[in-house]
């Protein structure tokens, strides 16, 4: 077994995030770690994160061999070590590998990437702002990172596709699955010009837990995070707080105090987690992107 096969095994054997497995692999290397896992010669914390000791990876490796998808690993020069290091430092578990659909360079793309996230049930104002941000950032040679979901994220994706730098969509399912189905065409466009990435092997369906796990990647891969709209209980808020915990700047788009879709953003602004922005140029100048 080589390191690529070992990483494919680990993605099938675990349900991300798996911080104990991440630390164990970092200490022993992927091949030795897999051999120890198969033998049961690992700490209980590692075994607790293993859900399948005999995952089938032949089809996964065949997909890579056929060139349908890439399996990007920390041993690859295109791995974004700097961006993902914060996840390990925060005990959140860096991805053991990433499935990629698209030919762009992840390491190069994330050196000046900004995550644009927000409510699925966005207002007309929120979708407009997200579209403008997506286009303006892409025109400034910034990679836009989103989930590709309905609402703010999808609008930011569409906006970025109008610019000069294609976006990246981070999925909570396999890169072969169009989710949400209503964004199948949008995700296809992202895969064609930018890339789709996921911790989950091909064929993996989305779930609530996977949406939550995906959020930490959006927080880590961007040099900054912009929250366009979010309610007080929005799943976007943990993304903002994770980004802030890793020392990344978080920006919030001010909205009406009477709007439920702005309530979560206003909380981030009032508690100092986020900085208000009035234009894309504010982000670009603050982050020193150009």
User: pLDDT tens track of the chain, all 290 residues?
Assistant: 899 999 999 999 999 999 999 999 999 999 999 999 999 999 999 999 999 988 899 999 999 999 999 999 999 999 999 999 999 999 999 999 999 999 999 999 999 999 999 999 999 999 999 999 999 999 999 999 999 999 999 999 999 999 999 999 999 999 999 999 999 999 999 999 999 999 999 999 999 999 999 999 999 999 999 999 999 999 999 999 999 999 999 999 999 999 999 999 999 999 999 999 988 988 988 887 65
- CA separation for the pair 80, 121 (Å, rounded): 32
Q: Which two tokens stand for residue 264?
A: 């979560």
pLDDT for residue 1: 87
- The SS3 of residue 277 is coil
pLDDT for residue 290: 57
Q: For domain 106-287, give its CATH number from 3.30.2020.30, 3.40.50.450, 3.40.960.10, 3.40.50.300.
A: 3.40.50.450
pLDDT for residue 131: 98
pLDDT for residue 285: 85
* CA distances for 199 relative to 101, 123, 243, 245, 278, angstroms: 12, 30, 19, 22, 34
Q: Which two tokens stand for residue 114?
A: 């900004």
pLDDT for residue 289: 66
Structural domain boundaries of the chain?
A: 3-101, 106-287
Q: Say which DSSP state 197 is in.
A: E
pTM exceeds 0.85: yes
Taking alpha carbons only, the member of 216, 196, 201 closest to residue 52 is: 201
- CA separation for the pair 19, 42 (Å, rounded): 14
What contacts 279, CB < 8 A, 6 or more positions away? none
What distance separates the 2 farthest-apart alpha carbons in the chain? 58
- CA separation for the pair 39, 35 (Å, rounded): 6
Q: How many CB atoms lie within 10 A of CB 91?
A: 11
* CA distances for 213 relative to 12, 89, 95, 154, 216, angstroms: 15, 16, 10, 19, 6
pLDDT for residue 104: 93
- CA separation for the pair 240, 47 (Å, rounded): 31
Torsion of CA 177, 124, 253, 183, to 10 degrees: 10
- CA separation for the pair 153, 282 (Å, rounded): 20
pLDDT for residue 87: 95
pLDDT for residue 123: 95
Torsion of CA 58, 200, 86, 234, to 10 degrees: 180
- The SS3 of residue 132 is helix
């Amino acid at each position: 077994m080589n390191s690529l096969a070992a990483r494919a095994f680990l993605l099938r054997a675990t349900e991300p995030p798996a911080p104990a497995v991440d630390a164990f692999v970092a200490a022993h290397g992927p091949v030795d770690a897999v051999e120890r896992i198969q033998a049961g010669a690992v700490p209980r914390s590692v075994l607790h994160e293993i859900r399948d000791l005999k995952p089938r990876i032949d089809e996964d490796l065949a997909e890579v061999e056929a060139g349908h998808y890439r399996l990007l690993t920390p041993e690859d020069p295109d791995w974004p070590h700097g961006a993902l290091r914060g996840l390990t430092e925060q005990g959140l578990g860096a991805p053991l590998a990433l499935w990629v659909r698209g030919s762009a360079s992840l390491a190069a793309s994330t050196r000046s990437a900004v995550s644009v996230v927000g409510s699925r049930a966005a207002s007309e104002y929120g979708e407009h702002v997200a579209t403008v941000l997506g286009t303006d950032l892409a025109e400034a040679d910034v990679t836009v990172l989103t989930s590709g979901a309905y609402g703010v994220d999808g609008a930011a994706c569409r906006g970025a596709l109008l610019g000069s730098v294609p976006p990246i969509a981070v999925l909570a399912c396999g890169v072969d699955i169009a989710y949400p189905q209503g964004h199948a065409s949008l995700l296809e466009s992202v895969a064609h010009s930018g890339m789709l990435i996921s911790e989950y092997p091909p064929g993996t369906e989305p779930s609530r837990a996977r949406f939550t796990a995906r959020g930490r990647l959006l927080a880590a891969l961007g040099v900054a995070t912009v929250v366009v709209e979010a309610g007080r209980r929005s799943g976007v808020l943990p993304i903002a707080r994770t980004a802030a915990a890793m020392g990344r700047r978080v920006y919030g788009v001010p909205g009406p105090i009477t709007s439920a879709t702005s309530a979560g953003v206003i909380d981030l602004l009032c508690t100092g987690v986020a900085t208000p922005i009035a234009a894309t140029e504010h982000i670009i100048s603050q982050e020193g992107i150009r």
